[in-house]
């Protein structure tokens, strides 16, 4: 007999917010992954301004789970809407 799966109840805390980010920087150490989200503003070819607004620490296990669910969702998106192409400058310069 297999144990039944628990019901998952999602709740938004009072400080919950949603934001748009077009920059994600990642730092890694032995204990965790640190994801810093921000917005890129480029007013001239010489200057790129990144305004970071949220940093989140996740465990290595949660980072790996996030990788898997992102891979699954990107594959589904590309199946429905076509390949996502990365611009060489943005991919190389802002994802760390």
The pLDDT value given to residue 94: 47
Give a yes or no: residue 54 inside a domain.
yes
Give a yes or no: residue 4 inside a domain.
no
Give a yes or no: residue 10 inside a domain.
no
- pLDDT tens for each residue of 4-42: 999 999 999 999 999 999 999 999 999 999 999 999 998
Give a yes or no: residue 3 inside a domain.
no
Sign of the dihedral defined by the CA atoms of residues 86, 92, 27, 45, in that order: negative
- pLDDT tens for each residue of 36-85: 999 999 888 899 999 999 999 999 999 999 999 999 999 999 999 999 99
Domain count, the chain: 1
Give a yes or no: residue 18 inside a domain.
no
Which residue segment(s) compose the domain that 72 sits in? 23-94
Cα–Cα separations (whole angstroms), residue 14 to 11, 17, 69: 10, 9, 26
Give a yes or no: residue 17 inside a domain.
no
């Amino acid at each position: 007999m297999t144990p039944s799966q628990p019901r998952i109840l999602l709740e938004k805390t009072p400080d919950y917010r949603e934001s748009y980010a077009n920059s994600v920087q990642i730092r890694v150490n032995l204990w965790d992954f640190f994801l810093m989200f921000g917005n890129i503003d480029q007013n001239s070819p010489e200057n790129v301004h990144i305004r970071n607004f949220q940093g989140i620490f996740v465990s290595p296990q949660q980072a790996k789970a996030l990788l898997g669910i992102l891979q699954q969702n990107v594959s589904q998106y590309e199946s429905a809407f076509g390949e996502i192409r990365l611009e060489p400058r943005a991919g190389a310069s802002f994802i760390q």
